[in-house]
């Protein structure tokens, strides 16, 4: 049966709660991360979805894993990583302005090795979605880019490819902005934005078609001159 593959990070989002009388910093921690959220949404819509990520073996990693599994996501290709999970802490002031602290240095999501990804090549997926900081932060970004290169021709002829780089425009670093230009496999800008008002519908496998896409996210992402991700049509 066809499945959808999502490659990327799962991040714990910690929200600062109102200050307590004893001066303690209280956090409410929720599972998140853009690619993990995509995988959860797809699975909840009824699509067979496989998440390809590195999940920490620790307490926070278990929170992320449990959330994915409870939503119906296949995590059999996830790495049980020794590194700590990535944490994003968010606080909102009285004016409604948000500030963020990120704890992401050396965490599980970005520490891919070539061997780990070599055994997790979604060549038979109906759709491959890749995102978002995992396309930017090394050493994993280079290995994911290399993976996309190895499956490019096999997937191109019959699949939808989408990519979400949450740091666009202009704030990409690392592999996504070498020489000031976005890498084709690291930043895919859209031909069209999926309408926010569109109602969710049960997933159906993409029909085979010989129609060329208007825009190929794996060949010329800058040609469209767009700024934000992420929708490309089936080849």
Cα 97 to Cα 19, 93, 100, distances in angstroms: 16, 5, 10
Q: How many CB atoms lie within 10 A of CB 186?
A: 27
Q: CA angle at residue 76 from 185 to 62, to 5 degrees?
A: 95
Look at residue 151 in the predicted model and tell me its pLDDT. 83
pTM of the entire predicted model: 0.71
Look at residue 22 in the predicted model and tell me its pLDDT. 83
77: in domain: yes
42: in domain: no
141: Cβ contacts below 8 Å, ≥ 6 apart: 110, 134, 135, 174, 175, 176, 186
Domain span holding position 230: 131-147+160-194+208-235
Domain count, the chain: 2
Average pLDDT over every residue of 63-68: 98
The CA distance from 78 to 53, in Å, is 5
Look at residue 169 in the predicted model and tell me its pLDDT. 37
1: in domain: no
201: in domain: no
104 and 136 belong to one structural domain:
no
135 and 81 belong to one structural domain:
no
Task: Look at residue 164 and give its three-state secondary structure.
Answer: strand
Number of C-alpha atoms within 13 angstroms, CB side, residue 232?
30
92 and 143 belong to one structural domain:
no
pLDDT digit string, tens, across residues 111-166:
999 999 999 999 889 889 998 899 999 999 999 999 988 887 666 555 556 666 55
pLDDT digit string, tens, across residues 171-227:
344 433 333 333 433 333 332 223 333 344 444 555 544 343 333 333 333 333 333
172 and 102 belong to one structural domain:
no
Q: Is the pLDDT of residue 67 over 70?
A: yes
- Mean pLDDT over all residues of the chain? 75
164 and 100 belong to one structural domain:
no
Look at residue 48 in the predicted model and tell me its pLDDT. 97
22 and 63 belong to one structural domain:
yes
Q: Is the pLDDT of residue 79 over 80?
A: yes
107 and 137 belong to one structural domain:
no
25: in domain: yes
202: in domain: no
143 and 231 belong to one structural domain:
yes
pLDDT digit string, tens, across residues 93-126:
888 898 999 999 999 999 999 999 999 999 889 8
142 and 222 belong to one structural domain:
yes
């Amino acid at each position: 049966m066809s499945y959808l593959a999502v490659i990327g990070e799962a991040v714990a989002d910690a929200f600062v709660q109102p200050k307590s009388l004893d001066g303690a910093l209280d956090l409410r921690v929720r599972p998140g991360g853009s690619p993990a959220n995509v995988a959860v949404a797809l699975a909840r819509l009824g699509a067979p979805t496989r998440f390809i990520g590195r999940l920490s073996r620790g307490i926070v990693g278990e929170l992320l894993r449990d959330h994915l599994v409870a939503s119906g996501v296949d995590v059999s290709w996830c790495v049980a990583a020794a590194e700590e999970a990535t944490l994003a802490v968010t606080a909102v002031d009285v004016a409604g302005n948000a500030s963020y602290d990120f704890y992401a240095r050396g965490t599980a999501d970005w520490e891919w090795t070539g061997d780990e990804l070599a055994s997790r090549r979604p060549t038979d997926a109906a759709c491959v979605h890749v995102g978002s900081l995992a396309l930017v932060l090394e050493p994993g970004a280079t290995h994911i880019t290399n993976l996309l290169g190895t499956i490019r021709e096999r997937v191109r002829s019959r699949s939808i490819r989408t990519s979400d780089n949450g740091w666009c425009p202009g704030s990409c670093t690392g592999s996504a902005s070498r020489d000031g230009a976005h890498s084709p496999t690291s930043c895919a800008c859209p031909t069209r934005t999926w309408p926010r008002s569109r109602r969710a519908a049960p997933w159906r496998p993409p029909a085979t078609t010989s129609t060329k896409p208007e825009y190929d996210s794996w060949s010329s992402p800058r040609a469209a001159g767009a700024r934000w991700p992420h929708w490309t049509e089936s080849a």
